[in-house]
Each structure stands twice: as structure tokens, then as C-alpha cells.
Chain A
Amino acid sequence: MIAAPSQGLALARDEEPAAAARTRITVKGLVKRFNASGREFVAVDDVSFEVKQGEFVALLGPSGCGKSTILNMVAGLLPRSGGRILIDGDTVETGKVNPRVGYVFQRDTLFPWRTVEQNIGYGLEIAGLPKTERAGRVASAVEKAGLSGFGQSFPRMLSGGMRQRVALMRTLILEPEILLMDEPFGALDTHTKLEMHKTLLEIWERERQTVLFVTHDLGEALTLASRIILLSARPGRLKEDFDVAIPRPRDPVGVRETAEFGRLYSHIWHSLGEEFRRTRAD
């Protein structure tokens, strides 16, 4: 059995950044209440956690547990009903964008009237970077995303996976230190998803951004994350918090054959199962 939180586990800690890494994201006593047709319900109930520099944290939970709501509050897209959120010690203000933070949506939010290059270069363009300087960075981002030859294409000409690569690069080109991702691969088929995992692992293992990644896909969380925060069904509460000690560099197919993957998979599976049964019982 795994204790929660899992500090007691024997983990390959040397795979992750030094334990003294500074805290980038602090969530303390976070509460979110919604009003739906006159009735108030609690979506997020007293959630607290911290994300340290260079951690890849997956926020895992059943649908409707409020994990995307938490992410949106961290991004400042949604006002919170209670609690505090700090990024690098500064309180997050709703509606105010933090330039250190990048955000990737689940839904396709590419600008359909812009080509792949124009989409990727959007952030640099509106920041006023000169065209020549922009072109070089965009070209290397297109290359990195494996989209060579598609720079002049419009999004509708691309597959779902390619579009999500463009969206990823549109965010990454601004070199955010903190990356918030809201089920970015949720709409993709299994094969494309694995390819995207490979791309993201390569980028992250090279650049080590601080990542908060929302997903309901257990395999995805185990493949990518260095730490998993498990949420309960509605209202979202912190259920478990543990490290994923699968060595890096990881391969999205190879990880599935490690003992750690199997062990954590079955543990979380049972833990999530309780939550699903709880939702049904409601």
C-alpha cells in the first residue's frame, strides 16, 4: 500500500530537482463555489498544495472534480471564492496575466485565420519583436514541433495532433517558466496522444519548466508527471499526493513496462474507483 502523502516511499529522488528547489506555485485553502439556477454548490473544497521549481505535477481526478477549475484559478482566468494562490510569492489577480505563466487549452484555440507560423509567432508579434528576429525563432519552433513544411498552412489543413503541437509551440515560444496545461491531449486519439507525450517529454526533459498538468487519464499522468495530486470526486478535495519514481528519460511506451508504472496504476485505479462509485451513489 502507498501512504498518502508518500514521503515515506523509497523513491529515486535523484531523478528530480534538488529537494531545496524553490516553491513556484502555492495553493492554500482554495475554495470555489458556483451558483447554478439559484442553488449554490461547492466545486473545489479547501485544496492546498505546492509546486516546486522544475516539478511536473499532474492534477488527476474524475470528471467534474474541479481540477480544470483549480487550473483556471491558478491562471487567473477565474475568480476564487476563498483561499489564496501565489505564484513566486505574488498573489494571483483574476484577469491579470502573468507573463511567466504559459497556458495550453484542451479545446482548439488556434486562430484559424492565421497560418501555422503566424499562430506560433502571435505572442512575439504582439510583444513587438521585429519581424526578422521573430522569423528565426518561429522557424526553429516549427522545426521542433515536427511541422516542417506546414509553416504556411492554415490550421484547418492540419490534423488534431498537429494543431495541438502548434498550440503548444505558440505557448512555449514565449519561454514561460511555468506551464499550465488543461487536458491538452484529451481530444486526441490514442496513437496521436502517445506521440504528443513523446514530444512533451522531450521538451520538458530538456527544459524542465514547472508544469501543472490537468488530466483524467491515469496512464497519461503516470507517463508524464514527476508527481501526481489525486483529487476526490465533487466537491474536489485533495485525496492523495505522491511522487512518480519512473526514471528519465522516459519513453511513452516503455514506461508502461516498468514495475513502478504497474504498481502506481493499480493503486490509483482502486483509489479512483472509489471516487467513481461515490459519484454514482450521489
Chain B
Amino acid sequence: MSHSRTVILFWQLAILAVVLVVWQWGFEWSKALLPKAYVPKILDPYFIAKPSLIWQSFLRLGCFSDAAGFTACITGSDNNLWLATLVTLKNTWWGFLFGSASGIAAGLVLGRSDFLARVFGPYIVALNSIPRIALVPLVILIFGLGDLSKIATAWLVVFFVVFFNTFEGTRAVDRDQIAAARLLGASEFTVLRTVVIPSALAWVFASLLPAVSFALIGVIVGEFIGAERGLGKLIIEAEARANASEMMVAIFVMMFVGILLAIAVRSLQSYLLRWQPQFEH
């Protein structure tokens, strides 16, 4: 059974409206209606703020309601929402880029060489077994509180995910396709460029979508543990002041950043993999 787009959209908006209404007024209503013991603590604005407060915090942090004016606010304060988002986004991007580039390169090299795969195999498995988060304090010790440590953290998280997928993808290349390319005159390098890489690309992309989320997670965790700027730093500061609405602002901005990054990767994917049925236009 297929439902029209309008029906789907109606229900989506209805759910959003209910959530927002309960979030905004649910705690007051339940306080008025229920005995004290049954008032749900989870709805307390002290913990989860409420939409109107979050909106006000957003306007303030985003320099929209500053007395000095938008430009003065942005240039004046060190950790306003715009700057924090920019820093987090930038570090996520570089971490993702370096992580996936090095993961793809290592995956291709080990995927094409049985010797190297067998030599490095146990080391990679061992390193991959370390929970990446455990390494974050070490990374900050080495690279300091600046952007470099955040990029390094994101790299750590992204590299292995992309590496393993590229490795498997390289191993799964159709041998007859390689033989066909050779018989048509392809050299070893041409086979890599025209057969192995395009063929492994589907596997690579399967990892890039989670990898971009992981990069964001890596950067945020790095910012939690030690940072001067960024959305993670904003959350930690808000926590110190027990300001739930400011935390929520940072969380929502992260949500949008995450969505935008995923859309970017997905559109690149559907262009490069347009030969596959699921990406048919």
C-alpha cells in the first residue's frame, strides 16, 4: 500500500508538533494535574530546557539579539555559535579527508599485495581493537589543545573504518574483469586505476557515510576532553554553568552539521556510483 506524500508529511509534522508541545508545556501541565510523586522529572526544563528557551539561547549565542549588533558580537566574542560551528566543521572536514584518503590508500596497497596484507594483518587487527576514545587524551597530550589534536582524533576514528572497507573491496574485485583488462592491453597500474579502484568504490563509499559521522564524533570528543574552541567546548562550558538550553543549541547545530555532511557525501556517492541500480536517476 502506498500513501501519498501529503499524508506522510502530515504525520511527520504532527509528530514534530506533539513533541514540541509536550517539551514546551508538558512539565507545567503534569505539575498542575498529577500528584507530586508522579511528575515526570525527565520533562523538567532544568535538565532538558524547553523550545522557547532554546530559541532564545540560539538568538543570543548566534549573535542575533546582541545589543552591540551582529558583526560586533561575532568579531568580539571568542566562542560564539558561528565561530564554534566553523571550527568544528573545519576540523571534521580535515579529519575526514585525511582519514579517508589514508584509509583508501592503505586499503588499496594491502588489498593488492598478499605479502603486505599478511605482514601487517595482526598489527592492524590489534590497533583496531583499541577503543579510539581511549586514545584521545594521548592525542591531546601530543598535539596540544588546538585544532591539530581534533583533526588527529577524527583521523584515528575514520582511518580504520575506511581502510577495512577498501581492503575488502579491493579483494572482491572480479578476477575475470582484471584478466579482461589485461587482455585489452592494460598494465598493472592501468588495471589499478581503471578496474580495481572503480570496482572497490562501492565498498569505499559504504564506509564513507558512517566515516563522516565518526569524524564529527571524534572532533566533539576531542573538544570535550581539551579544547579552546568548538561546539564540544560550548557544551562543556554550558554544562559547567548548568545551562541546558545552551547545550541544546549546540546539540541541534551538530545535528544540522551532521545532516549536511551526510548529504554532501551521499550526493558525491550517487554521482560516482551512478552505474549501480540503487543510484539510478
Q: Which residue of A lies closest to B176 (CB)?
A: A109
How far apart sit A123 and B183, CA to CA, in the bound complex (Å)?
Answer: 9
Which chain A residues numbered 103 to 135 have a C-beta less than 8 Å away from chain B?
103, 105, 107, 109, 111-114, 122-123, 126-127
A171 close to B (CB within 8 Å): yes
Contact A109 B275 (CB under 8 A): no
Q: Quick one: which of B174, B183, B199 contacts A102, CB cutoff 8 A?
A: B183
How far apart sit A135 and B195, CA to CA, in the bound complex (Å)?
Answer: 21
A75 close to B (CB within 8 Å): yes
The smallest C-beta distance from A77 to any residue of chain B, in angstroms, reads: 6
A276 close to B (CB within 8 Å): no
Most buried by A among B180, B201, B273: B180
Which residues from A are CB-within-8-Å of B182?
Answer: 97
Which residues from A are CB-within-8-Å of B198?
Answer: 111, 113
Contact B180 A123 (CB under 8 A): no
How far apart sit A126 and B183, CA to CA, in the bound complex (Å)?
Answer: 12
- B176-205 vs A, Cβ < 8 Å mask (1 yes, 0 no): 110111111110001000110011010000
A156 close to B (CB within 8 Å): yes
Q: Quick one: which of A75, A113, A156 contacts B183, CB cutoff 8 A?
A: A75
The smallest C-beta distance from A186 to any residue of chain B, in angstroms, reads: 14
B277 close to A (CB within 8 Å): yes
Which residues from B are CB-within-8-Å of A112?
Answer: 275-276
Interface size class of B (residues with CB under 8 A): 20 to 34
Contact B190 A126 (CB under 8 A): yes
- A40-84 vs B, Cβ < 8 Å mask (1 yes, 0 no): 000000000000000000000000000000000001010000000
Most buried by B among A99, A107, A113, A114: A113
Contact B184 A174 (CB under 8 A): yes
Which residues from A are CB-within-8-Å of B195?
Answer: 111
Which chain A residues numbered 150 to 194 have a C-beta less than 8 Å away from chain B?
154-156, 170-171, 174
The smallest C-beta distance from B217 to any residue of chain A, in angstroms, reads: 31
| With A97-B183, A113-B199, A154-B275 as contacts: A122 and B176 at CB distance below 8 Å | no
Which residues from A are CB-within-8-Å of B186?
Answer: 126
Interface of A is mostly: loop
Which residues from A are CB-within-8-Å of B179?
Answer: 77, 105, 109
Contact B275 A105 (CB under 8 A): no
Contact B176 A123 (CB under 8 A): no
How far apart sit A99 and B187, CA to CA, in the bound complex (Å)?
Answer: 12
Q: Quick one: which of B176, B185, B275 contacts A114, CB cutoff 8 A?
A: B275
Contact A123 B275 (CB under 8 A): no
Contact A105 B199 (CB under 8 A): no
Which residues from A are CB-within-8-Å of B274?
Answer: 154
Contact B185 A123 (CB under 8 A): yes
Which chain B residues numbered 122 to 161 have a C-beta less than 8 Å away from chain A?
none
Total A residues in contact with B, Cβ cutoff 8 Å? 24
Which residues from A are CB-within-8-Å of B181?
Answer: 111, 122, 126
Contact A97 B174 (CB under 8 A): no
Contact A126 B174 (CB under 8 A): no
Which residues from B are CB-within-8-Å of A154?
Answer: 274-275
Which residues from B are CB-within-8-Å of A126?
Answer: 181, 184-186, 190, 194
How far apart sit A174 and B185, CA to CA, in the bound complex (Å)?
Answer: 10
How far apart sit A34 and B133, CA to CA, in the bound complex (Å)?
Answer: 51
Q: Which residue of A lies closest to B177 (CB)?
A: A109
Which chain B residues numbered 239 to 281 have a C-beta less than 8 Å away from chain A?
273-277
How far apart sit A107 and B180, CA to CA, in the bound complex (Å)?
Answer: 10
The smallest C-beta distance from A226 to any residue of chain B, in angstroms, reads: 24
Contact B177 A127 (CB under 8 A): no
Which residues from B are CB-within-8-Å of A75?
Answer: 183
How far apart sit A97 and B185, CA to CA, in the bound complex (Å)?
Answer: 7
Which residues from A are CB-within-8-Å of B190?
Answer: 126
Contact A103 B275 (CB under 8 A): no
Contact B184 A113 (CB under 8 A): no
How far apart sit A154 and B274, CA to CA, in the bound complex (Å)?
Answer: 9
Contact B275 A156 (CB under 8 A): yes
The smallest C-beta distance from A36 to any residue of chain B, in angstroms, reads: 19
Contact A99 B185 (CB under 8 A): yes
| With A154-B275, A156-B275, A156-B277 as contacts: A109 and B180 at CB distance below 8 Å | yes
| With A111-B195, A113-B198, A156-B275 as contacts: A122 and B177 at CB distance below 8 Å | no
Contact A171 B277 (CB under 8 A): no
Q: Which residues of B contact A (CB under 8 A)?
A: 174, 176-177, 179-186, 190, 194-195, 198-199, 201, 273-277
Beyond the given pairs A103-B180, A126-B184, A171-B183, 13 more chain A to chain B contacts, judged by CB atoms under 8 angstroms and listed by A's residue number, are A75-B183, A105-B176, A107-B176, A109-B177, A112-B276, A113-B198, A113-B273, A123-B185, A126-B190, A127-B185, A154-B274, A155-B275, A174-B185
List 29 A-B residue pairs with CB atoms under 8 Å apart, sorted by A's residue number. Answer: A77-B183, A97-B183, A97-B185, A99-B185, A105-B176, A105-B180, A107-B176, A109-B174, A109-B179, A111-B177, A111-B194, A111-B198, A112-B275, A113-B199, A113-B201, A113-B273, A122-B194, A126-B184, A126-B185, A126-B186, A126-B190, A127-B185, A154-B274, A154-B275, A155-B275, A156-B276, A156-B277, A170-B184, A174-B185
When A and B form their complex, which 6 residue pairs have the shortest distance between CB atoms, in order from nearest? A109-B180, A123-B184, A113-B275, A103-B183, A113-B198, A154-B275
